[in-house]
Structure 1
Amino acid sequence: MDGLVFVQGTNTLEETAYFLTLTVRTTKPIVVTGAQRPFTALSSDAPLNLFNAIRVAASPDSHGKGVVVATNGEINSARDVTKTNTYHVQTFRSHDVGVLGYADADSIVYYRAPTRRHTAESEFRLDKIERLPRVEILYVYSGTQPGLAEAAVQLGARGLVIAGVGAGAAGNLNTECAAIAAEGRAVVVRSARVGEGRVICDSAYQEPGMVAADNLSAQKAAVLLSLALTRTSDPQETQRMFDQY
């Protein structure tokens, strides 16, 4: 086998792609694709997306790129891509970092390659894991009330991802999240709900013991945190993983 095409619905396609790029140890191309309009719909994007995904998987230039998402003629990195529209076919975008390349009529063309660790370079293994640790996402908004983080931990969450406002601020959840992190009851990761830009280790927003998600979305941060928890619950070691992946 020279490559693999993985087809699924688009709702959580980005999370599947990122999980695969963190766990499948290979340099062979793995291409994830889906469709906004089903085969039975007028002007379905399914046939062309599947055709182009096969072309991308068969391209020698796709080797070593990690898992990619091929839709609407574009090739995006599994780490960076996210669904941005409920119905339009131009939905999978990589925001400020851009596409890896294109699946055009004449050829498969790449203009850049992922620089973070993935696939063959990943340290994560699933062969001895029966169930991934539970991680919950806490979405912060202007009316967020305290208690959500404590409730998640009480329900068995070993990791919490804050989808914070602005640069990752936890708002009214900050005090309880800081206490949970300090007591080691769960690993707390700060991300932002904004959609673009990095969340950094900044003392103005981040309490000791918390982890910064860099530019990962909350849902991608949850995928990485769940895998990280199979190896460590140390915040510094978890931060190292977020810096590398």
Structure 2
Amino acid sequence: MKTIAIIATGGTIAGVGKDGKTVVYHAGEIDVNDILESIPQINEVAHLKTFQLYNVDSNEMDEEKWMGLSNMINSLVLEEDIDGIVVTHGTDCIEETSYYLTLTLNTNKPVVLTGAMRPATATSADGPFNLYQAVSLASNDSAYGKGVMVLFSNTIYSGRDVQKINNFKVDAFGQKTFGCLGYMQDEVPYFFSDTFKKHTIHSIFAGNYNSLPKVGVALFYAGASADILYHLAQSNEGIVIVGAGSGNYNEKWKEAIEDLSKKGTIFVRSSRVQEGIVFDDEVFDPHHYCISSNTLSGQKARVLLMLALKKTKDRDQIRQIFAQY
């Protein structure tokens, strides 16, 4: 059997609440080994090594914890007896962690994130089955070289494109209009598509980090003041605009973006619309000060911009990075 390292970070999968209830619980309370005791059949899938790195609600995940998790995985995959990695994680911010790992892990070994929508104390908790399938996926030869994946509710998603689309159903994730990578039937994965964006060993960002540039996110809404941008620019090297429609905003924001860009702030345009693509725009950004996020959400565009700014401050070079990742 393969040997899989399980790195626990907390989340609902380790949550505790009133017996049987699915709401009003505290995430990140149970040790990963206690969860594994409820799924003894998992020991027929792989040899397991467990690491309780964090035990927090995923809203407590931040850049420091991303770096700690990524650096730990980059160390573990160097061990010959580790065949794959599973990370247990809260669902609220799993899409940001998965994208950070997609960009920074230096391995072809399978890395799978999973979690739960129901706490461990709920009736029909979904965490144990998700964890069982995540270990099964990480143990399967077909998962090699697929990049970072998220396994949830029988479905395999790419770490780049996965997003939370529901806050109460157990089938809580989607991947925009691209579809998923594949599906699980019990312990067997079936892949139907692949990701063509650069990731893991093909990423220029693959490696360990101990600091990241600061990047803020500004949500545009009807009547939003441009003061928001000036305030963010005081403490951030870059700003991701989460605009309306195709990443759009009003004239005051446009003027502020042009002014701040001339002073060195790097801007990325994304959209608050759940599905769609943000391209360059001659009307809202006639001088091409902004970098288009393409299909990345605002929160994922922030992850890429932080890493891009670690490499270069040149706007045109960052534009090329966004086209590739």
Matched, 1:231 2:304: no
State the shift of 1:20 in Å. Answer: 0.2
Matching residue of 2:279? 200
Matching residue of 2:173? 92
Amino acid at match of 2:125: S
State the shift of 1:143 in Å. Answer: 2.2
Matching residue of 1:45? 126
Conserved? CA contact 2:105–2:207, under 8 Å: no
Runs ≥4 residues deviating over 3 A? none
How is 1:68-107 mapped onto 2 (pairs within 5 angstroms)?
68-105=149-186, 107=188
Find the partner of 1:160 among 215, 236, 239. 239
Larger-gyration structure (1/2): 2
**2-side partners of 1:162 and 1:108: how far apart?**
37
How well do the aligned residues superpose, as a CA RMSD in angstroms?
Answer: 1.2
Amino acid at match of 1:46: G
State the shift of 1:54 in Å. Answer: 0.4
Find the partner of 2:249 among 148, 151, 170. 170
Matching residue of 2:89? 8
Amino acid at match of 2:232: A
SS in structure 1 of the partner of residue 310 of structure 2: coil
Mark the runs of 5 or more structure 2 residues left unpaired by the alignment. 1-81
**2-side partners of 1:10 and 1:141: how far apart?**
26
State the shift of 1:205 in Å. Answer: 2.2
Matching residue of 2:292? 212
Conserved? CA contact 1:31–1:67, under 8 Å: yes
Find the partner of 2:219 among 111, 114, 139. 139
Matching residue of 1:221? 301
Matched, 1:187 2:266: yes
Amino acid at match of 1:140: F
Amino acid at match of 1:152: L
Instruction: Count the aligned residue pairs.
Output: 242
**1-side partners of 2:289 and 2:316: how far apart?**
8
Conserved? CA contact 2:115–2:127, under 8 Å: yes
Mark the runs of 5 or more structure 1 residues left unpaired by the alignment. none
| CA distances 1:184-231 after superposition (whole Å, capped 9, x unpaired) | 2x1100000101111001212224221000010000000000000100
SS in structure 2 of the partner of residue 189 of structure 1: strand
Amino acid at match of 2:307: L
Matched, 1:243 2:323: yes
**1-side partners of 2:132 and 2:188: how far apart?**
13
Q: Percent same amino acid at aligned positions?
A: 38
